Amino acid sequence: MAQELIASNYVATAEQINTGALMLGAGLALTSMILLPALAMRLGLSASLTGALRIALMKASSRAVAVRAPDQNQQRLLR
């Protein structure tokens, strides 16, 4: 009985947290905040272009981390 509750708790947690998406989102956010401005300054890009690229990366970051319902293949893997 206790093992079934623990197993169901793990499945619920795994459904809520997608580690790969979280790592991708964090990487994109890091890139947009630190790496992109440094690279743009080194290449001599304009501030407006740098800002547009930062906005695009931050949007991609938020889309990567957005919670999605697991599809059938993910549900089979979790079982």
Nearest to 27 by CA among 61, 70, 68: 61
Of the two residues 42 and 9, the one the predictor is more confident about is: 42
**Range(s) of the domain holding residue 17:** 2-78
State pLDDT tens for residues 34-55.
Answer: 999 999 999 999 999 999 999 9
Q: Give the 3-state secondary structure of residue 64.
A: helix
Token pair of 19 as six digits: 């580690």
Tell me the per-residue pLDDT of 15-34, one tens digit each, with 9 for 90 and over. 666 777 788 888 888 888 99
Q: What is the pTM of this model?
A: 0.60
Counting the structural domains of the chain, the total is 1
Condensed to tens digits (0 to 9), the pLDDT of residues 53-78 reads 999 988 988 888 886 655 666 556 55
